[in-house]
């Protein structure tokens, strides 16, 4: 072995020994720093959620002495409100909090919604304008912490506020939280829906709230049952179920001529406190008569009526007239007396007995003692005056009409009947008559104007007034050949007057029964009416007579105007809609910000809020949302304040005024990304 190789081996051995020495020195240095630390790694989460991962080598709790495996509890605090439940709008609740956890050093704390910095334990009154979430956020440090780590924690509570509901019908007693069934809105008021009609099993048009038709004629869908008419003794056209005519003019058979005038109420039957619309049509402008007043109306028109009396329309050119009258629906057992519903009415009949009579003057079943029994008499088969409840006479001598002899004859039915002028003196008419079932004949009671017919059982039955009563269907007219006016008298006879005349538009032609001629007189003005003009709702009124100057006022309907028959109204606003709602990102690092974007239409206003006080005006982000104004559209974009804990962003939009829709809302939650820190 040469010298150079030996020298190299010695050098390598020295290097190995030096390395061992250095390693021993390092181990000594490590041992001098303290106890040995496990090779397992602990992680602590610095986020608000407080996630902690502990190595399995740490002893289980409880154990006798504290060690570095002991870590403080996470996210522990208490926040509540009193009184519990929901508070009324404008009242005060009290927030209570407690974050003073044992073994911790309290560093700082604050409550959102403008409350601000607070101590670890306390209470404070709050008066939120709406349901509000309050968040308590704080920091503290465990007294045994080896690293001086600061822990964040939070807790929350929500104070529920009961806001007063919107009254959709200010004209109806009580608070209506929605439009009641059977009503709709017009000009901010709730008005009854139009009367509905349907065809019954007899194919008659009847009032029916669930029916498909809106007119009392059922849009002519019901047609198999047609009202029948006949001419009475005064040549008047009257309703008659057995009549041979099918129109109110009796097909010109009664002499009144054809009648193009038509007037009716819709609905035709209403409760005492209801209202109806009067519709009319004629060939020419006419004169309306009601309660002693008169006014000029166009040939076709309508108007709301709150009165319960009848109306009459007379055509100013041809004199044709028509009437309309409401039927009042009184509760069972009551009748309408012209001003109110009253109990059953009674009157005295021809026998002076108290009987049920809707037009009677009495309201008790005894007629208030006003009716006294009156004995009725008739001539018996021996031509003697005898008691007879169905007899035509009211005196015990039968008005001297019964005699002792020569008092019988055969009637048209070949019956032997008492007759003062009869040629027979016995009740069997000397067997000259052949029999029969009944000898009674219909008659008219001159004292009461009541007409009596004979039933199949040979009993007298009252069937209405004697011929001659009722209104007259004849119309005043002008004879073009002679240029002479003809009016109608109280007895329904034509009366000739002066020369034919034409009246100005603001006057009507009135028959003067004293002078027997027509005169031009100033009358009242037409009824106000609503109508649609494009997307505008217009109201036409009239000045005082005789000018009756029309005045038109229109207001724009934001959502169009609809006219149904004579009723016109603005369309209701559509429901509010949140078109865009975007909060991004929804998972962020602590102290990061997010973007909040929104767009809504058909709204009155919107509020955008975060549970960290964003959008409330209580921090630097200001107030979010606002009032939509006349466009009813609203949009916006905002940057949040730094996110330090879980935050909920909510948008609430109110419907436009007069809408029957409810508010709409959307919410999005933003969470914190956990931060893992090696210790």
The fold of the 577-678 domain, in CATH, is Immunoglobulin-like (2.60.40)
Distance CA(596)–CA(613), nearest Å, equals 14
Distance CA(288)–CA(290), nearest Å, equals 7
Tell me which residue of 624, 619, 671 sits closest to 644, measured CA to CA: 671
Distance CA(58)–CA(388), nearest Å, equals 123
Q: Both tokens of residue 192?
A: 């009854």
Question: Are 205 and 225 within 8 A, CB to CB?
Answer: no
Q: What ranges do the domains of the chain cover? A: 43-162, 192-336, 375-465, 529-570, 577-678
For 573-584, what is each residue's pLDDT tens digit? 888 999 999 999
For 90-126, what is each residue's pLDDT tens digit? 788 898 888 877 667 788 889 998 899 988 888 999 9
The residues, any chain, with a CB within 8 Å of residue 172's CB and separated by 6 or more, are: 180, 183, 190
Distance CA(433)–CA(416), nearest Å, equals 6
Tell me whether the CATH fold assigned to 43-162 matches the one assigned to 577-678.
yes
Give pLDDT, residue 636: 93
Q: Are strands 151-162 and 86-88 parallel, antiparallel or unpaired?
A: parallel
Question: Are 331 and 314 within 8 A, CB to CB?
Answer: no
CATH architecture of 43-162: Sandwich (2.60)
Q: Which residues of the chain have pLDDT under 50?
A: 1-8, 10, 12, 22-58, 60-74, 257, 405, 468-471
Give pLDDT, residue 439: 65
Query: SS in 3 state form for 615-626?
Result: EECCCCCCECEE
Tell me which residue of 164, 166, 162 sits closest to 93, measured CA to CA: 162
Tell me which residue of 507, 506, 498, 493 sits closest to 479, measured CA to CA: 498
The reply to whether the predicted model has a pTM over 0.75 is: no
At residue 367, the 3 state secondary structure works out as: helix
């Amino acid at each position: 072995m040469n010298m150079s190789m030996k020298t190299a081996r010695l050098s390598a051995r020295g290097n190995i020994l030096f390395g061992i020495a250095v390693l021993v020195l390092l181990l000594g240095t490590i041992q001098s720093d303290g106890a040995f630390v496990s090779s397992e790694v602990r992680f602590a989460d610095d986020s608000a959620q407080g996630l902690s991962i502990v190595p399995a080598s740490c002893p289980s709790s409880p154990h006798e002495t504290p060690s570095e495996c002991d870590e403080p509890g996470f996210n522990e605090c208490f926040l509540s409100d009193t009184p519990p439940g929901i508070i009324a709008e404008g009242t005060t609740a009290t927030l209570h909090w407690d974050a003073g956890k044992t073994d911790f050093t309290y560093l700082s704390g604050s409550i959102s919604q403008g409350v601000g910095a607070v101590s670890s334990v306390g209470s404070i009154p709050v008066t939120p304008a709406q349901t509000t979430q309050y968040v308590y956020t704080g920091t503290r440090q465990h007294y045994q912490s080896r690293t001086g780590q600061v822990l964040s924690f939070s807790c929350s509570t929500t104070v529920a506020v009961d806001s007063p509901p919107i009254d959709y019908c200010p004209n109806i007693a009580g608070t209506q939280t929605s439009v009641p069934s059977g009503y709709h809105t017009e000009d901010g008021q709730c008005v009854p829906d139009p009367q509905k009609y349907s065809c019954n099993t007899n194919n008659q048009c009847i009032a029916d709230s669930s029916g498909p038709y809106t007119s009392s004629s059922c849009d002519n869908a019901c047609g198999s049952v047609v009202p029948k008419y006949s001419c009475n003794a005064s040549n008047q056209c009257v309703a008659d179920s057995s009549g041979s005519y099918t129109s109110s003019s009796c097909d010109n058979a009664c002499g009144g001529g054809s009648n193009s005038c038509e007037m009716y109420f819709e609905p035709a039957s209403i409760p005492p406190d209801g209202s109806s619309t009067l519709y009319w049509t004629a060939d020419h402008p006419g004169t309306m008569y009601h309660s002693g007043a008169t006014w000029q109306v166009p040939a076709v028109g309508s108007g709301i009526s709150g009165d319960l009396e009848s109306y009459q329309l007379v055509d100013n050119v041809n004199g044709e007239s028509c009437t309309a009258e409401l039927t009042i629906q009184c509760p069972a057992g009551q009748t309408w007396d012209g001003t109110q519903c009253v109990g059953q009415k009674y009157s005295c009949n021809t026998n002076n007995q108290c009987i049920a009579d809707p037009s009677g003057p009495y309201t008790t079943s005894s007629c208030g003692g006003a009716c006294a029994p009156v004995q009725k008499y008739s001539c018996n088969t021996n031509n003697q005056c005898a008691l007879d409840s169905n007899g035509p006479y009211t005196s015990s001598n039968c008005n001297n009409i019964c005699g002792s002899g020569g008092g019988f004859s055969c009637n048209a039915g070949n019956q032997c009947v008492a007759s003062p002028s009869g040629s027979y003196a016995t009740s069997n008419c000397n067997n000259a008559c052949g029999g029969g079932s009944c000898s009674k004949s219909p008659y008219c009671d001159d004292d009461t104007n009541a007409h009596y017919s004979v039933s199949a059982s040979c009993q007298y039955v009252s069937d209405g007034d004697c011929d001659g009563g009722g209104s007259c269907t004849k119309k005043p007219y002008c004879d073009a050949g002679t240029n002479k006016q003809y009016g109608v008298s109280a007895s329904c006879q034509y009366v000739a007057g002066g020369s034919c005349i034409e009246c100005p538009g603001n006057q009507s032609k009135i028959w003067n029964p004293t002078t027997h001629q027509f005169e031009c007189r100033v009358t009242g003005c037409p009824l106000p009416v609503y109508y649609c003009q494009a997307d505008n709702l217009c109201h036409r009124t009239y000045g005082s007579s005789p000018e009756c100057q029309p005045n038109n006022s229109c207001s724009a309907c934001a959502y169009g105007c609809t006219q149904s028959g004579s009723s016109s109204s603005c369309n209701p606003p559509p429901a509010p809609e949140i078109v865009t709602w975007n909060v991004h990102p929804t998972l962020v690092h602590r102290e990061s910000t997010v973007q909040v974007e929104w767009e809504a239409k058909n709204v009155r206003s919107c509020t955008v809020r975060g549970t960290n006080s964003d959008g409330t005006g209580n921090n630097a982000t200001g107030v979010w949302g606002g009032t939509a104004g006349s466009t009813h559209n609203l949009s916006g974009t905002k940057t949040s304040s730094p996110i330090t804990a879980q935050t909920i962003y909510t948008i609430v939009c109110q419907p436009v005024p007069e809408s029957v829709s409810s508010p709409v809302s959307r919410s999005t939650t933003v969470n914190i990304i956990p931060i893992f820190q090696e210790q």
